[in-house]
Structures are given as structure tokens and as C-alpha cells.
Structure 1
Amino acid sequence: MNSAGLLVDSFGRIREVVHEAVEGLDDAELAARVTPDANPVAWLVWHLTRVQDDHLADAFGTAQLWTSDGWADRFALPFPERATGYGQTRAQVGRVRAPGDLLLGYHDAVHARTVDLVGGLTDADLDRVVDASWDPPVTLGVRLVSVIADDLQHAGQAAYARGLLNAQT
């Protein structure tokens, strides 16, 4: 397996966990918090997808699907379009309400774009600096690993929250 194949597989694993966490939950379950401060499944999936969309669009110089494909309008969240969930308050987190088909539709669109972007990368591409404001500068490879790590953590949290919701019923 080459680097591009490894990246495609990694992002595919995120997609699998997202689907397992969301499928079969109704709107109320997706918005439920297992404790008052816990992030609900809907917010976790929205956030991890927004981060992936935002960070890959920036790294590859493309538009975010959130705005270019009308996902922001479909979600109609009470935040600026640029919001990704980073630094949101407990109250803001609670405002992310979306049905499963919308969450999965957006995630699947971002996943398909991600596969298109990373599927043809070479090892040399991974050394390209995508953010020189850090010391050391961030390369494409580091940015992609960062997104994968963050997304897997949030997808795991969503799966865990779903398990707790199932245990409560």
C-alpha cells in the first residue's frame, strides 16, 4: 500500500464509525446529551465533518463543501458559516440539531471529496508546506494526520455516546 492508499483507508475508517454512530438514531437521540456537559452525537459528527471539510479545503486550495454545495443552508445553524465547532460553548453545542440523513449526507460528500483529493497524492506531495505560520511549518502530511486523529477521536466519542444512549433505553 502506498501513502495515498493509507490515507484513503484512514478516512474510510472515520466514515465507517460515523455511519455506525448515526444510523438508526432519531433526531432527539442525535441531540441528546448523556450528561449535561457532554457533546451530543449530532454535534460531534457535524464538528468532525466541518473540520475535515475546512482543513482539507485550505490545504488543497479548494472551496469548502459547507458553503459551495449549500450544506450551510440545509443545516441552517445559528452560527457564522465559517464556524467549525472549535471553541463553542455548551449552549452553542446544543444548537446543533440535524437529522441523521443530513449529517450523513454532508459527511459522505466531504468523504468523497477527501478521497478525490488524497487518492492521487505522492510521498513528495506530503512534504508540501500548507501553513507556514507554525514553527516548524505544517506540511500536508502533518495536516492530514492531524485531521485523521481529531476525526477518529470525535467519531469514537459519537460511538461511545450512542452506546450510552442505547444503554439508557
Structure 2
Amino acid sequence: MNTAELLADAFGRIKENVHGAVEGLTAEETARVVEPGANTVAWLVWHLTRVQDDHVADVAGDEQTWTADGWEKRFGLPFAAGATGYGHSPQDVAKVRVDDPALLTDYYDAVHERTLGYLRGLSESDLDRIVDERWDPPVTLGVRLVSVLDDDIQHAGQAAFLRGLLLRRR
């Protein structure tokens, strides 16, 4: 197994976790705040997908799936096109609502496929390419991809936890 295959496997696990967290929930459940100030399943899945879309598109030099494929319009959220959820207030979190929870998984699937396409083209030496010089030390492509994985894994786990709480309250 090479590094690109390893990364693809890790991103595949996120896809499984995203689907597991969302499927079977109602639109109301995905938007339910279980405690004041808490994130919702809808916001967590939207956010983790936006982060992956934003960061992978950036390193690939592509337009984000969000805007390129019309997801921004399908979601109809009251945020700027570049918003990924960083810095969102509880009021912003509450604005991430969908009529059909499949919209969340469909958007994730579209981003996932573009991510896999990008990963297939990587060589081992590509992972050492500097992609962000704003940090000390500068961030390599490998570190950026692991950062996206880490963020997505955490948020997918949080969404799965919330799913469990929501199902217990049915």
C-alpha cells in the first residue's frame, strides 16, 4: 500500500462515518440542538465537508465542489460562498438546516469523489510540497491532508455521538 492508498482508505472511513451519523435521522433531528450552544448533526457534517472541500480544492488548485457543482445553491444557506463554519456562533449553527438529510451525505459523497481523484494522482514526493507558508514550519501537502483527516474524523465522531443521543430521545 502506498501513501495515496493509505490516505484514500482513511478518507473512505470518514465517508462511512458520515453516512452512519446521518442515515435514518429526520431533517428535524439533524438540526436539533441537544444542549444550548451545542453543534448539530447537520452543522457538523456540513462543516466537515466544507473543510475537506475547501482544503483539498486549495491544494489541488481547483474550484470547490460547493460552488463548482451548485451545492451552495442547493443548500441555500445565509453564508458567504467561502464559509466553512470556522468561527460560527450557536446562531450560525442553527441556520444549517436541510429539508432532506440526504443532501448532507450527497454533498459529502461529491467532495469525497473529488478528494479520491486528487489522491490517485499523488506521488510520495508530492506530500513534501509546501502548501502554506503562513506557519512555522511551513505546512506540507502531507501535513495538510492529515490535518483535514483529523478535523473530519473528530467531527464525524461528534455527529455519531449526537445521533446516539437523538435516537435515545425518540
* 2:94 corresponds to 1:114: no
Q: Partner letter of residue 144 of structure 1?
A: L
Equivalent positions of 1:65-84 (< 5 A) are 65-84=65-84
Where does 1:72-111 land on structure 2 (aligned, <5 Å)? 72-98=72-98, 99-111=100-112
The 4+ residue runs of structure 1 with deviation greater than 6 A are: none
Alignment length, in residue pairs?
Answer: 169
> What are structure 1's unaligned runs of at least 5 residues?
none
User: 1:23 maps to which residue?
Assistant: 23
**CA distance, structure 2, for counterparts of residue 61 and residue 14 of structure 1:** 23
2:140 maps to which residue?
139
Query: TM-score w.r.t. structure 1 length?
Result: 0.98
Identity of aligned residues (%): 62
State the alpha-carbon separation in 1 of the partners of residues 36 and 17 from structure 2.
24
For structure 2, list consecutive stretches of 5 or more residues without a partner in the other structure: none
Compute the TM-score of the two structures, normalised by the length of structure 2.
Answer: 0.98
Q: CA RMSD in A?
A: 0.7
Amino acid at match of 1:140: L
Q: CA deviation at 1:120?
A: 2.8
Match of 1:6 in 2: 6
- Partner Cα separation in structure 2 for residue 154 and residue 119 of structure 1: 25
**Structure 2: distance between partners of 1:133 and 1:35:** 36
Conserved in 2, the CA contact under 8 Å of 1:128 and 1:139? yes
